[in-house]
């Protein structure tokens, strides 16, 4: 045991205990709730993934602020996360005493109506090798960046109720992205020299044992690919289970692997998800950030804007300031994607831009690295720049920060003003019948 591990184990219990549908009623604070509230959790949790842990329950949730506590809403199913029709269908199924097979059938029927893979993830983003082998454990949407889904990373320390990758966790095998073979990833990178960044994602890659994760990264490093400049790790572990970097049995090995990546000359970027200021408030979080940064890795932070959780500009400003003070770089404010419980978490684009602008104005230049609000839509990452007036017509000003075609990036375009629109598909072109990229997009990507 290292000195750091000893320090934490003296003060806290750091063995993870997971809570799911099977055992969530054993949580003392849940037992204080009405049977109806517990049943509502069960109904929603049978459709959308539900998993939390003792750290979240004991240190992040304010149980005196239920049901409005943001971390509670972030990790425990709420009735409103299903539309009434879907909620009633699952509730009646459970009340009827249906068996597991019937419950699963009803759940899958509902899930298929929730746009389980938005933005063309299944149809457009799955790459293939030159020999025709499809790589279902990868996505390649933007020229420079390839997403890699290790099959061992298809879970998390806790699940976010808004997660757009929810199909990964609900047993819908045909909708999972997972791949075991790092060698195929290397081969794909050799065939695509335009790729400079590999993003390990899931699930959460930090759910893997360090030895397993390093097997993947070693395969990449050993290949000495001249085009590979950056390894990114998309993770919520720093927030949901900081002990991964403090006291877990493989904590030191994880950090040594980070050091190895950095020493190889490859930039290591930890894409950390923080959805609320409270996640940055505990001592374990602060220490985990410190240890990760000491390896030479850079932590960049991102989150969607979420109704019921963080649709407050003052909170965003404080969160970005806190991230900078910890040595992290604010990176993205996203728009909730068009999947799952979008109706519950979605914030209209006009309101989202106002929240972003108000928060942005409150922080120094060091926090103004952040971009948003950004929609990860099928054509690319669409940045909502604001509202303007052109020739007497009120418009929403947009641009692509990333595009399926790099030539689309950075060109302003305009949508008719619509204060209720929550996604690109809700917007209409302000001038003419289409956006500037529509013809090329339809010709190349809509078959």
Count, residues in the chain: 447
Residues 209 and 63 in one domain: no
Which DSSP state fits 336? P
Q: Shortest CA distance to 271 belongs to which of 228, 330, 217, 211? A: 330
Contacts of 207 (CB under 8 A, 6+ apart): 152, 153, 155, 156, 157, 237
Omega before residue 24 within 30° of 0, cis: no
Q: What 3-state DSSP class applies to 148?
A: strand
Q: What is the pLDDT of residue 318?
A: 99
Q: With respect to residue 124, please indicate whether it lies within any of the assigned structural domains.
A: yes
Residues 163 and 292 in one domain: yes
Q: Mapping DSSP to helix (H, G, I), strand (E, B) and coil, where does residue 381 land?
A: strand
- Spatial CA neighbour of 336 closest among 149, 42, 129, 74: 74
pTM: 0.92
Q: What confidence score (pLDDT) does residue 153 get?
A: 85
Residue indicated by tokens 């649709």: 311
Q: What pLDDT sits at residue 12?
A: 58
Last-in-domain residue among 111, 136, 171: 111
133 shares a domain with 263: yes
Ranges under pLDDT 70 in the chain: 1-13, 117-123, 164-180, 447
- What is the domain-level CATH number for residue 131? 3.20.20.70
The total of structural domains in the chain comes to: 3
**What is the tens place of the pLDDT at every residue in 252-280?**
999 999 999 999 999 999 999 999 999 99
Domain assignment of residue 96, given as a range: 15-111
Q: Are residues 368 and 246 in the same domain?
A: no
Output the pLDDT for position 3.
47
303 within some domain? no
Structure tokens at 323: 């991230």
Close Cβ partners of 326 (under 8 Å, ≥ 6 residues apart)? 280, 286, 289, 290
Q: Are residues 35 and 82 in the same domain?
A: yes
> Do residue 105 and residue 135 come from a single domain?
no
Tell me, yes or no, whether 158 and 257 share the same domain.
yes
Kind and range of the H or E element at 375? strand 371-376
Both 123 and 85 in a single domain?
A: no
pLDDT at residue 5, rounded to an integer: 45
**N- to C-terminal Cα separation, the chain:** 57
Specify if 322 maps to a domain.
Answer: no
Is residue 163 situated within a structural domain?
yes
What distance lies between CA 140 and its chain's CA centroid? 17
DSSP result, 82-128: S-HHHHHHHHHHHHTT--HHHHHHHHHHHHTTS-SS-TTTTTTS--B
The vertex-335 CA angle with 354 and 378, nearest 5°, equals 130
- 323 occurs within a structural domain: no
| Residue among 23, 96, 83 at smallest CA distance from 54 | 23
134 and 104 in one domain? no
Q: Is position 312 within any domain?
A: no
Q: Report the alpha-carbon distance of residue 150 to residue 178 in Å, rounded.
A: 5
Token output for 9: 């184990």
Q: Dump the DSSP string for 317-332.
A: HHHHHHHHHTT-EEEE
């Amino acid at each position: 045991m290292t000195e750091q591990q000893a320090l934490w184990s003296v003060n806290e219990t750091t063995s993870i205990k997971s809570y799911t549908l099977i055992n969530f009623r054993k949580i003392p604070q849940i037992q204080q709730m009405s049977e109806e509230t517990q049943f509502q959790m069960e109904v929603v949790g049978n459709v959308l993934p539900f998993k939390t842990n003792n750290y979240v329950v004991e240190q992040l949730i304010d149980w005196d602020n239920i049901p409005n506590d943001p971390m509670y809403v972030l990790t425990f199913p709420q009735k409103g996360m299903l539309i009434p029709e879907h909620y009633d269908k699952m509730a009646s199924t459970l009340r009827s005493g249906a068996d597991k097979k019937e419950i699963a059938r009803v759940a899958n029927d509902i899930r298929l109506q929730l746009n389980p893979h938005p933005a063309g993830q299944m149809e457009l983003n799955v790459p293939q090798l030159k020999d025709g082998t499809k790589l279902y454990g990868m996505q390649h949407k933007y020229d420079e960046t390839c997403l890699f889904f290790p099959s061992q990373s298809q879970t998390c320390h806790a699940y976010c109720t808004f997660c757009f990758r929810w199909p990964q966790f609900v047993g819908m095998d045909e909708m999972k992205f997972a791949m075991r073979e790092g060698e195929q990833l290397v081969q794909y990178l050799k065939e695509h020299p335009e790729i400079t960044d590999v993003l390990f994602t899931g699930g959460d890659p930090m759910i893997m044992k360090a030895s397993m994760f390093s097997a993947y990264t070693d395969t990449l490093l050993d290949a000495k690919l001249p085009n590979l400049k950056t390894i990114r790790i998309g993770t919520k572990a720093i927030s949901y289970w900081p002990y991964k970097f403090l006291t877990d049995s493989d904590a030191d090995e994880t950090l040594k692997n980070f050091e190895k990546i950095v020493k190889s000359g490859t930039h290591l970027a930890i894409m950390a998800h923080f959805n609320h200021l409270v996640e940055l408030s505990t001592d374990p979080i602060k220490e985990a950030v410190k240890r990760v940064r000491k390896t030479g890795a850079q932590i960049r932070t991102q989150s969607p804007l979420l109704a019921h959780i963080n649709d407050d500009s003052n909170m965003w400003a404080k969160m970005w300031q806190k991230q900078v003070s910890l040595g992290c770089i604010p990176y993205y404010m996203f728009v909730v994607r068009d999947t799952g419980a979008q109706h519950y978490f979605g914030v209209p684009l006009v309101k989202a831009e106002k929240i972003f602008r108000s928060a942005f104005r409150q922080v120094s230049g060091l926090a103004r690295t952040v971009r948003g609000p950004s929609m990860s839509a099928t054509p690319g990452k669409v940045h909502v720049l604001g509202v303007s007036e052109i020739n007497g017509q009120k418009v929403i000003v947009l641009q692509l920060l990333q595009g399926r075609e790099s030539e689309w990036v950075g060109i302003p375009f305009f949508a008719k003003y619509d204060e209720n629109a929550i996604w690109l598909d809700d917007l209409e072109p302000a001038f003419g019948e289409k956006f500037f990229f529509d013809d090329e997009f339809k010709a190349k990507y809509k078959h």
